[in-house]
């Protein structure tokens, strides 16, 4: 049954340009919170009920630390922006203590086997995730203009935490990237002849600031969907990026074909990128910058591999292909 209150929360977030995933996640936790308190309106609840809910997540649900933190962020947003009564900064609740998992890391040989057996349609994406340490959504959201061939780097805009960064690009990928851009241009030329086509989606106010940009090739996704679709917000016809679930499936299937006895996901390639850089002697601060971590403590999880010093960043994919 639809909830007018939750619909209002969703509309409020969408109007302020929150990412769709953030909207869905926050609405999920706010709904969970309301149901936990027997459908009482959040305006009737306060710090004590929030503490009770967060303690329940840690004690009965045994959620991970990050999961509990996400729930807290959702409730903080709710009370600050919707209820207009911010939560106390000194909430007293049982914090989740589930031990942090060590990252699953592939050996160089395993990466080579996986890339050799992956569906060719997704090979370049997998190479970028490993060779440049990209998260899955950072990779599928790349635009044509984000590839800097002159400086052999990739620009990541509004990554996790809404941060921008420049990461290394393996020069061996330049020919494949040029072919991919030609593929994008073929779609682009067909779309321009479609009177219903409104151009690619642009974030925030860029479409108003640069009205011609949605129909410029540089702004189009590097890995476009094979079909046009309707923008759920504007109802305009656009070409979105490739569906990320198909990439996840391709990575899983390639790992099975390679008979890799590890829980391999797209993020495993990012973990392997960081670990192999450290193995090659790159200092941890540089790896931190490449991964886009705010705190070096987050990067230190990869220091189970010995560091032997190092200067410049060279993509581990280069070492793999050169050998």
Phi-psi region of 158 (alpha: psi -120 to 50; beta: other; left: phi over 0): left
pLDDT at 308: 41
What is the model's pTM? Answer: 0.79
Catalytic residue among 141, 239, 270, 271: 270
pLDDT at 128 over 50: yes
pLDDT value for 148: 97
165 is catalytic: no
* Helix 266-279 × helix 120-132 angle, to 10°: 40
Nearest-Å Rg of the Cα atoms of the chain is 22
Contact (Cβ atoms closer than 8 angstroms) between residue 219 and residue 207 = no
126 vs 111: CA distance, rounded Å: 10
From the list 166, 215, 267, 314, the catalytic residue is 267
- Backbone φ and ψ for 165, nearest 5 degrees, come out as -160, 160
Place of tokens 């850089």: 277
Q: Pick the catalytic residue: 80, 85, 97, 160?
A: 160
Catalytic residue check, 270: yes
Mean pLDDT of 125-137: 96
Instruction: Identify the CA nearest to 173 among candidates 115, 255, 249.
Output: 115
Active site residue 85: no
160 in catalytic set: yes
Tens digit of pLDDT for each residue in 235-267?
A: 899 999 999 999 999 999 999 999 999 999 999
Catalytic pick from 122, 130, 135, 220?
135
């Amino acid at each position: 049954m639809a909830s007018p209150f939750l619909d209002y929360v969703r509309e409020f977030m969408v109007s302020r340009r929150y990412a769709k995933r953030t909207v869905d996640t926050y609405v999920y936790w706010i709904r969970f919170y309301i149901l936990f308190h027997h459908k009482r309106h959040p305006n009737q609840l306060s710090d004590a009920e929030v503490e009770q809910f967060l303690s329940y997540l840690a004690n009965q649900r045994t959620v991970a630390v990050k999961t509990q933190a996400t729930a807290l962020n959702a409730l903080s947003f709710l009370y600050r922006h919707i209820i207009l009564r911010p939560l106390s900064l000194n909430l007293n609740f049982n914090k989740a203590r589930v031990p942090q998992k060590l990252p699953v890391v592939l050996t160089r040989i395993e990466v080579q086997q996986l890339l050799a057996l992956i569906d060719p349609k997704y090979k370049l994406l997998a190479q970028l995730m490993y060779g440049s340490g990209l998260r899955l959504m950072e990779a599928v959201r790349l635009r044509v203009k984000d590839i800097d061939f002159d400086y052999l780097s990739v620009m990541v805009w509004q990554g996790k935490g809404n941060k921008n960064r420049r990461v290394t690009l393996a020069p061996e990928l330049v020919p494949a990237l040029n072919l991919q851009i030609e593929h994008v241009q073929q779609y682009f030329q067909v779309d321009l002849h479609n009177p219903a086509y409104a151009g690619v989606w642009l974030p925030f106010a860029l479409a108003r600031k640069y009205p011609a940009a949605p129909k410029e090739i540089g702004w189009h996704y590097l890995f476009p969907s094979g079909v046009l679709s309707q923008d759920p917000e504007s109802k305009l016809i656009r070409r979105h990026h490739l569906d990320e679930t198909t990439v996840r499936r391709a990575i899983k299937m390639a790992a099975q074909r390679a008979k890799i006895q590890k829980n391999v996901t797209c993020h495993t390639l990012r973990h392997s990128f960081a670990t192999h850089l450290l193995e090659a002697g790159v200092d941890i601060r540089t790896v931190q910058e490449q991964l886009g971590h705010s705190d070096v403590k987050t990067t230190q999880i990869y220091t189970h591999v010995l560091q032997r010093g190092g200067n410049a960043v060279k993509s581990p994919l280069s070492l793999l292909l050169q050998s």
